[in-house]
Structure 1
Amino acid sequence: MALKAAEPPSAETLLLWEREQARLKTRVVHGDTEAWQRDPAFSGLRRVGGVDVSFVNGDSSGACASLVVLSYPELKVVYEDSHMVRLQAPYVSGFLAFREVPFLVELVQRLQEKEPGLMPQVLLVDGNGVLHQRGFGVACHLGVLTDLPCIGVAKKLLQVDGLENNSLHKEKIVLLQAGGDTFPLMGDSGTVLGMALKSHDHSTKPLYVSVGHRISLEVAVRLTHLCCRFRIPEPIRQADIRSREHIRRTLGHPGSPAQRQERRQKEQRPKACPGAPAGPCSLPEDCGRDSSTDLKDPQPGFQEQQKDQQSEGSGHHEDSDLWPPSPVWVQSPPREEDL
């Protein structure tokens, strides 16, 4: 039986959280601090990390926290660590970090103790950085506590400081023609809070990139784009895939009936190989993947609804459905939910 959701925090708790955010915010470094960040080719960057928290279907506090480290520029996973956790704090918009960051900090500390040579030189976080109600989102919080360069990468626009997902915003999205195209997210305050980024040529939805800690916005956007084989940056995509797979292995969740039926249908489809005719996106329609590894979210399900609410504008369970162009990516197929 799923545990009941945590009680909403008291006004006193919210005030304490606000004060803690204000205190930690003074430690955020807005700018490049590493030599590789100042090199046009990012020479010296060897390891990029991604973190994610995925939720147990039907359980408001059961979750899995995951950290992956990928080689750069190859984007191959060289380290992964996933652990089941019990979330103690409830979700409150603007305070996601108090719910999730303690577990992410533990993962980073465990890596530092076990394999210090694999510590990431930068972390990509599924959520916002300075693009936040008080300018201190989950990417800032994690960056300050770990003292690692951090980038916030959200999948939905957090509507703060006058930013709105209105018709004007949608018109700007249409003008993004090629992967790497951007436009600034300037609030009513006159501050550029982040950038909307078209992560690859075939994506119809931008990512929203913002500074977390110890990195400039320009470098954060360029690196995020270079980490995208699909719509979602590979460090975040791998952390998401592996955290949900860990939940399934640990708890034996096979997915919803609709998901199982979809897998059965895919197993019956003719399989194409890399040399076969390309699909509508000029890539093979199917590279002979084992459909049992197709890690889609349960639909409909509690996890989708909950993470949509809890990602503070990140739209947690979206991804591209483009099939990977080389065997390197066969073990982690993208899902067919978002293009």
Structure 2
Amino acid sequence: MSASPAEDLLQQWESEQARLRQQVLEDDTEDWQRSPDFSGLERVGGVDLSFIKGDDVNACAQLVVLSYPDLQVLYEDSQMVTLTAPYIAGFLAFRETPFLLEALQRLKKNQPTLLPQVVFVDGNGLFHYREFGLACHLGVLSGLPCVGVAKNLLQVQGVNKSEEHQSQIAALQRGGDSFPLIGASGKVLGKALRSSDKSSKPVYVSVGHKISLDTAVRLTHACCRYRVPEPIRQD
């Protein structure tokens, strides 16, 4: 029996993820990342794809660029797009990345001086079934440092909403406090971060590309006025 078209597609996507996964850099690569106050960081971006309720084909692809550290909007781009790839859990990037990448490429072409030095992605990076979520995919293809920030816990690799997880959340006393999300293999895949004093609900931060986890967590906290970092909240 030959594989169905859906199985063929899944195999193709899995091998593509595995190939691109080899290119992810999980370390700080930029000078500003090594500075205690992120000296030299001037532009932070955020990308998101938002859907109209009840319609999972038409969406709005959004990119904003804010100044750092004062988080004022420097650039905004939103385009209605029609998604062609099917939604399959764990392969969200194949639906969304092309449109987010196009937004970054438009900016690079039209106003290159406003290109962000780091991009926050509304989704996961290494905290993913195969350690290659949307933030990794966009990071590798764009070549930009990327940070995945998810609002909900993806229950993967043995990480779940256990009583222990809930008690760790309760122990986060103030904005900036975090704890590691450790997969079944013992690898730290991301961190749960209390991003603001005002919000006791954490966000889940993971490396996308060209940044270390500790720096990604510190930067996420620095970009939060509320629970969600401003570059994503402004989308």
TM-score using structure 1 length: 0.68
Which protein has the bigger strand share?
Answer: 2
Pick from 56, 59, 74 the counterpart of residue 60 of structure 1: 56
Which position in structure 1 is the counterpart of 2:9? 13
Pick from 43, 46, 52 the counterpart of residue 47 of structure 1: 43
Residues of 1 paired with 2:200 and 2:162: CA distance? 16
Residues 50-69 of structure 1: CA deviation (Å, up to 9, x unaligned): 00101122322010000000
Q: 1:188: Cα distance to partner?
A: 1.3
1:152 matches 2:148:
yes
Residues of 1 paired with 2:24 and 2:230: CA distance? 25
CA contact (8 A) 1:48 1:71 kept: yes
CA contact (8 A) 1:9 1:90 kept: no
Residues of 1 paired with 2:93 and 2:184: CA distance? 25
Aligned in 2, Cα 1:117/1:172: closer, same or farther, shift over 3 Å? same
Which position in structure 1 is the counterpart of 2:180? 184
Q: 1:204: Cα distance to partner?
A: 2.2
Which position in structure 2 is the counterpart of 1:202? 198
Structure 1 segment 93-242 matched on structure 2, within 5 A: 93-239=89-235
Supply the AA of the counterpart residue of 1:207.
V
Which position in structure 2 is the counterpart of 1:303? none
Pick from 74, 84, 87 the counterpart of residue 83 of structure 2: 87
Supply the AA of the counterpart residue of 1:184.
P
Residues 283-325 of structure 1: CA deviation (Å, up to 9, x unaligned): xxxxxxxxxxxxxxxxxxxxxxxxxxxxxxxxxxxxxxxxxxx
Q: 1:9: Cα distance to partner?
A: 6.4
Supply the AA of the counterpart residue of 1:52.
D
Which position in structure 2 is the counterpart of 1:267? none
Residues of 2 paired with 1:49 and 1:36: CA distance? 15
Supply the AA of the counterpart residue of 1:175.
A
Larger relative CO (CA 8 A, sep 6+): 1 or 2?
A: 2
Task: Show structure 2 runs of 5+ residues with no match.
Answer: none
Supply the AA of the counterpart residue of 1:185.
L
Supply the AA of the counterpart residue of 2:6.
S
Displaced runs of 4+ in structure 1, greater than 4 A?
none
Residues of 1 paired with 2:28 and 2:5: CA distance? 36
CA contact (8 A) 1:54 1:63 kept: yes
Task: Show structure 1 runs of 5+ residues with no match.
Answer: 1-7, 240-339
CA contact (8 A) 1:56 1:63 kept: yes
Which position in structure 1 is the counterpart of 2:24? 28
Supply the AA of the counterpart residue of 1:104.
L
Over the residues paired in the alignment, what is the CA RMSD in angstroms? 1.0
3-state SS in 1 of match to 2:204: strand
Residues of 2 paired with 1:220 and 1:208: CA distance? 11
Which position in structure 2 is the counterpart of 1:289? none
Supply the AA of the counterpart residue of 1:19.
S
Q: 1:202: Cα distance to partner?
A: 2.0
3-state SS in 2 of match to 1:10: helix
Residues of 2 paired with 1:42 and 1:149: CA distance? 14
Q: 1:21: Cα distance to partner?
A: 0.3
Residues of 2 paired with 1:52 and 1:188: CA distance? 29
CA contact (8 A) 1:49 1:121 kept: yes
TM-score using structure 2 length: 0.97
Aligned in 2, Cα 1:201/1:129: closer, same or farther, shift over 3 Å? same
